Amino acid sequence: MSNIKDVAKLAGVSTATVSRVLANNYPVANKTKNRVLEAVQSLNYEPNRMARNLRKRETKTVIVLLPDLKNPFFSEVIRGMEDVAAREGYHLFLGNTNNDVEREREYIKMLNEQMADGLILTTARIGKDDILQLSEKKPLVLACEYLEGTDIPCVSIDNIGSARRATNHLISLGHKRIAHLSGPINVVLCRDRMNGYLQALHSKGIPVDESLMEAGDFSIDSGYLLTRKLLSLERRPTAIFAANDEMAIGAIKAVKEAKLSVPEDVAIVGFDNIPISTIIEPALTTISQPKYIIGKTAMEMVLNLIKKVPIPRHQMVLPEELIIRESCGVHAAL
């Protein structure tokens, strides 16, 4: 590994000149520049990032925390982030928290150790206070989530409104016994979706039956298991609103296994519109989020925070879409 001194010596210039040529942000005579470039070439020189980062007190890196790598929803969000990061010369440091608060803290520690310039949290597990405190010291943006009562920059859809809309769709189809498969309740957007579900029931005067509300972990498996439980109820639900598509897919599996049919016996609505939701049978009615835009916007926001460019609005709420496919049909009672 050669360093800047080696290059300087070979090119017969000072290290400062080498640095200038490489940064390309300062006038250097063409002749000198070429000599430096040749030296760089022949030594196969790559500047040491650690040294540069230390000196410049920036890393051009943003940590992006994901709750779960295998959730295809995020891959599209990430694409949006990557595209703007690349354009601005930034790298993503993808952190997989596996839904574990400790893992989340690990990465936050890395941020404090200045291994990155900023942080994007998608579906945070740590508490509101911790987030608030961190946000005061560091460029931090919430993606997919909205932290009520704070001014923390975030970009998401209206999870409450979307859930209300999904539930209302089921109600409009004639359903009264509508179950809700929630995600982990310590996640804000899960509580939001649950609240949207409850709001819809209330507004239509449908009594809430707590036995119809179950919390899973966003996995196909948990959707499957919880639906089996729901189906074994004395008065089983005629519809299920799941907080994500995976759980909805698990629910479909359980309904089919019980020799019942979707949507005739049980209508199902998911959330996220992941690719497989069009393949599964019946195809899933679901809420579609502008995934790419969420990612793009979130990254634009952190980069602005990092560069101390004022952000016009701190809280961006993007429109969602209800995509109607076959998993709801028309309820017999209509």
Query: From CA 308, how far away is CA 87, in angstroms rounded?
Result: 18
Judge contact between 60 and 302, C-beta under 8 A: no
Query: From CA 272, how far away is CA 263, in angstroms rounded?
Result: 19
Nearer to DNA, 26 or 307 (CB): 26
List, in order, residues 6 or more apart from 253 with CB less than 8 Å away.
220, 223, 224, 227
Judge contact between 141 and 80, C-beta under 8 A: no
- With CB under 5 to 8 Å by kind, the binding choice for 220 among DNA, its own copies, none is its own copies
User: How much helix, strand and coil, in percent to the nearest 5, is found in the chain?
Assistant: 45, 15, 35
- With CB under 5 to 8 Å by kind, the binding choice for 12 among DNA, its own copies, none is DNA
Token digits for 251? 């629910």
Give me the least distance between CB of 100 and its own copies, in Å please: 11
- With CB under 5 to 8 Å by kind, the binding choice for 283 among DNA, its own copies, none is none
Binding mask of the shown chain, residues 41 to 70, with x at each position contacting DNA by CB under 7 A: ----x-xx--xx-xxxx-------------
In the block, which residue shows the tokens 């029931």? 201
Give me the least distance between CB of 171 and its own copies, in Å please: 28
Query: From CA 13, how far away is CA 275, in angstroms rounded?
Result: 56
Judge contact between 118 and 139, C-beta under 8 A: yes
Q: Could you tell me where the DSSP H helices lie in the chain?
A: 4-11, 15-23, 30-43, 49-56, 72-87, 101-112, 128-137, 159-172, 188-203, 220-231, 245-257, 291-306
- With CB under 5 to 8 Å by kind, the binding choice for 4 among DNA, its own copies, none is DNA
DSSP 3-state assignment of 40?
Answer: helix
Give me the least distance between CB of 258 and its own copies, in Å please: 15
Query: From CA 295, how far away is CA 298, in angstroms rounded?
Result: 5
22 makes contact with its own copies (CB under 8 A):
no
Give me the least distance between CB of 43 and DNA, in Å please: 10
Nearer to DNA, 117 or 245 (CB): 117
Give me the least distance between CB of 194 and its own copies, in Å please: 25
Determine which residue in the list 51, 208, 330, 332 makes contact with its own copies, applying CB under 8 A.
51
Other residues' Cβ atoms within 10 Å of the Cβ of residue 330 = 12
Give me the least distance between CB of 114 and DNA, in Å please: 8
Closest CA to 95 of 57, 72, 122: 122
Determine which residue in the list 10, 20, 144, 146 makes contact with DNA, applying CB under 7 A.
20
Nearer to DNA, 20 or 180 (CB): 20
Give me the least distance between CB of 37 and DNA, in Å please: 12
Report CA 161 to chain centroid distance, whole Å. Answer: 18
Query: From CA 289, how far away is CA 275, in angstroms rounded?
Result: 13
Q: What is the DSSP letter of 287?
A: E
70 makes contact with its own copies (CB under 8 A):
yes
**Could you tell me how many residues of this chain bind DNA (CB under 7 A)?**
31
34 makes contact with DNA (CB under 7 A):
no
Give me the least distance between CB of 158 and DNA, in Å please: 42
59 makes contact with its own copies (CB under 8 A):
yes
In the block, which residue shows the tokens 């995976």? 246
Binding site for DNA (CB under 7 A): 1, 3-5, 12-20, 22-23, 26-29, 31-33, 45, 47-48, 51-52, 54-57
Binding site for its own copies (CB under 8 A): 1, 46-51, 53-54, 59, 68-70, 72, 74-76, 78-79, 82, 91-96, 98, 109-110, 112-115, 220, 249-250, 253, 275-276, 279-281
